[in-house]
Amino acid sequence: MYREIYPQVYEVNILDAKDEELIRISEEMGLALNLEEMKKIKVYFAKKGRNPTDIELQSIAQAWSEHCCYKSSKCYLREFLFGIERDYVISAIKEDAGVVEFDENYAYVVALESHNHPSAIEPYGGAATGIGGILRDVLCMGAQPIALVDPLFFGNLDVKELPKGVKHPLYLLYGVVAGIRDYGNRVGIPTVGGMVFFDESYITNCLVNVGCVGIVRKDRIVHSRVGNVGDIFVLVGGATGRDGIHGVTFASKELSEKSEEERGAVQLGNPIMKEPLIHACLEVVEKGLITGMKDLGGGGLSCVISEMSYASNCGAEVYLDKVHLKEEGMAPWEIYISESQERMMLTVRPEHVDDVLDVFKKWDVPAVVVGKAIEEKVVRVYWRGKKIYELDLDFLLGAVEYCRPYRVRRVERIDETSKPSDFKSVLIKMLEHPNVASKEWIVRQYDHEVRACTILKPLQGRINRETHGDCAVLKPTDSWRGLAITTDVNPWMTKIDPFWGTASSFDEMIRNLIAVNSIPHSFADCLNFGNPEKPERMGDFVQCVRALGWMARGFGLPCVSGNVSFYNETPYGCVAPTPTLMGIGIVEDVRRVVSSNFKGKGEIVLVGETLKEFGGSLFCKVTGQKSTVVPKTSPKRLKKYANAMLQAFKEFKVYSCHDLAEGGLAIALAEMCIGNCGCRVDLSCLKGEDYVKLFSESNTRWLVEVENGEDFVKFMRERGVSAYLVGEVGGDEIVIKDVLRVSVDEVERAWRRGLAKFTG
């Protein structure tokens, strides 16, 4: 089946291959292509009258991987989510990152990606290279990265027995956090936000999502495509090695006990190379020396060359033996699909090539010419003077797309919740739960203040007694204008009801942006699901995307960038549907941001309605009770409340604000009190039972500390928004009339020990 035609280049006989032989070829070469896809390739080469080379087959496999071409998700994303138009969006969805207007002179750039499979196998390296990749996604738009975020998902830390070949969640947590810490800190970009969520569904497949925000002058935006026919391809950055080979095909199938053997698919990051690479790339952008730029991520050279050419309706010639290598003896196919890190591809007019090479030489970053753009929509690869590859781009990048069949799970509405015997013990258990407890052990490892533009930090309040914040806020330019950043999803809710769970996650994203006095402006998503070839998994995906599109379109918030990560599944189980969201808000004046901690100066107002909605709640988790009634929301209602809140921030002296999420009003009050002062609350003005008032997780609710509570309530009600004066700030206890009394110190101790009892 294989015949060497040039040194290290093989012809693969697929024209004479029967179906079972086609499958064997796919397996032996690590292509991860199914029979129908192999048969498409056979038909293509039959028309050409020849067999493919090994490098051609490997290149097709990269381009057709789930990770690269979104073959199972594109049709549903187009149907439900894409196309939300706003005049301030400069570029959305089409490139490596979204580009959105910040002010008259600047745009911000946003990207959110997954690095799940590599992190499950090698947590330190997998997470580190995830950070490296997301930095490059923002950099390739010509932007200076200014902030990182890291939504992370692990199995329960108290798990005792693990399936064969599965690493303990605590080991994964330590490794992932260390990888993000070391890479982000060394490259000098602050990690300002994120989340950590623990659930049994992540035991065999952790999720590591990473996001990045950058800033760029509008007249310096670069696109991820060839500028002109005749442009020269210049490869810059790290050398190419055997690390990361088959990374995208590895990420496009389920993990198994044998996945450990594919450790070579995990790339090796090098932040010490990345830092000067960023500087050099930004310098050639500033000098106007390049026509296009794209990072070498999934699929390596194979994908970057073809995608940049295809986006400009042209082709390319590649001189593979010009690529600088980490080791001798690499086969051409290995060089072409390697996903070695810290590499960028530039396109340059011929007259500017020497100037570009000089800039990279100054920064001590390797840079070599590896090809040129041609008029034909074809890619040709040459190796030591021999043509070893020729593929039509329409076939390579446009041949595979599925609208896979799906089955929507029926959710039966059940609510068996009842009043607990001891409200205080429930509150303490909630505060100790790792999903709520202090993440200081993680946050303190990250430098979240490097670059000196972090106005509102992930921990907020009195120094060394800080509490949990809703958003980070950055001041990226010389003006007082700022960016708010949050990440949100509740997998307990999406596991029960993918539609309403996703709608609730969108609601929480908006609530967090509003809480710091920012105007919701755009968002990105990272959609993590199981095997799309299974109708129920695909049904969960479709329901999540449908909900996301419904909320985003109704609210008027554009989705500007995103990622789909399928096959997060093993023979032991599938991850909960996890549509991670990263929201971006515009802060008109960073001097008017609002933090979450009580200031001890005002009255407490509850904004929003509280209903008996406990599906996926923390209350059910800690009490062992059952409910499938996931909180509902609507974009119209959310928009009305958001607008009223933003107007109220202009009219009133608001000292603090916090959204109600996991644990409901009780946890929100506790988090606002931590490290500062207590409060006295009377909930008799609310309808329903006390446990519903305290622990319900109904959407579209905030707690506000304001100077004059009665006037604030009147103002909100005049705008058709529910609001209730429920208490005042002060003292050293949390007192909820006729329900519970607990000292702030006891609350804080419980909150701080929840994760620390596992991490030390």
Q: Report pLDDT for 335.
A: 97
| pLDDT tier, 399 (very low <50, low <70, confident <90, very high otherwise) | confident
Would you say residue 8 lies in a domain?
A: yes
CA distances to 88, 247, 311, 512, 620 from 558, rounded to whole Å, are: 10, 30, 22, 17, 34
Pairing mode, if any, of strands 472-474 and 454-456? antiparallel
Report yes or no on 750 lying in a domain: no
Confidence of residue 257 (pLDDT cuts 50, 70, 90): low
DSSP state, residue 64: T
Q: Distance between CA 596 and CA 703 in Å, rounded? A: 9
- Asked if residue 680 is part of any domain, the answer here is no
> 236: which strand partners?
344, 367
Whole-model pTM: value is: 0.96
Predicted local distance difference test score (pLDDT) of residue 429: 98
Residue type, 719: R
568 vs 555: CA distance, rounded Å: 30
CATH code of residue 12: 1.10.8.750
- What residue numbers bound the domain in which 16 lies? 2-63
Q: How much of the chain exceeds pLDDT 90, in percent?
A: 93
What's the pLDDT band for 1 if we cut at 50, 70, 90?
Answer: confident
- Indicate whether 44 belongs to any domain: yes
* Whole-angstrom distance, CA of residue 434 vs CA of residue 437: 5
Q: State the pLDDT confidence band at 492, using cuts at 50, 70 and 90.
A: very high
Number of domains comprising the chain? 1
Separation between Cα atoms, residue 268 and residue 630, nearest integer Å: 41
CB-count burial class (<10 Å; 0-12, 13-18, 19+) for 279: middle
107-166 pLDDT tens trace: 999 999 999 999 999 999 999 999 999 999 999 999 999 999 999 999 999 999 999 889
Structure tokens at 341: 């890190």
- Report residue 655 as tokens: 């000292």
Is the predicted pLDDT of residue 180 greater than 70, yes or no? yes
Residue 684: inside a domain: no
Q: What is the pLDDT of residues 351-376, one digit of tens each?
A: 999 999 999 999 999 999 999 999 99
The residue with tokens 């990690």 is 191
- Which whole-number Å values give the CA distances from 666 to 490, 507, 530, 663, 677, in the listed order? 18, 19, 34, 6, 15
Which DSSP string corresponds to 90-123?
EE-SSSSSEEEE-SSSEEEEEEEEE-HHHHHHSH
Show the tokens assigned to 445: 């490892």
Q: Is the pLDDT score of 264 beyond 60?
A: no
When pLDDT is averaged across residues 212-222 and rounded to a whole number, the result is 98
The reply to whether 15 falls in a domain is yes
Confidence label for 263 from pLDDT (cuts 50, 70 and 90): low
Q: Is residue 58 part of a domain?
A: yes
Residue 342 CA to residue 443 CA, distance in Å, equals 26
pLDDT at 265: 57
Backbone angles phi, psi at 214, to 5 degrees: -130, 170
pLDDT band at 61, cuts 50/70/90?
A: very high
Q: Which residues are catalytic?
A: 67, 115
Mean pLDDT of the chain: 95
Instruction: Tell me if 535 is assigned to some domain.
Output: no
DSSP state of 405: -
User: Residue 245: pLDDT above 90?
Assistant: no
Counting Cα atoms < 13 Å in the Cβ hemisphere of 54 gives 21
List CB contacts of 20: < 8 A, sequence separation 6 or more: none
Q: Per-residue DSSP letters for 562-586? A: EEEE---EETTEEPPPEEEEEEEEE
* Interatomic CA distance for residues 695 and 523, integer angstroms: 28
If pLDDT is split at 50, 70 and 90, which confidence band does 256 have?
low
Q: How far apart are the first and last CA of the chain?
A: 56
pLDDT of residue 248: 61
Looking at the DSSP bridge assignments, the partners of residue 585 are 484, 520
Residue 269: the pLDDT is 84
Handedness of CA 338, 342, 347, 353 (dihedral sign): negative
Alpha carbon separation from 189 to 131, 149, 195, 279, 363 (Å, rounded): 10, 10, 18, 13, 19
Placement of tokens 């035609």 in the chain: 5
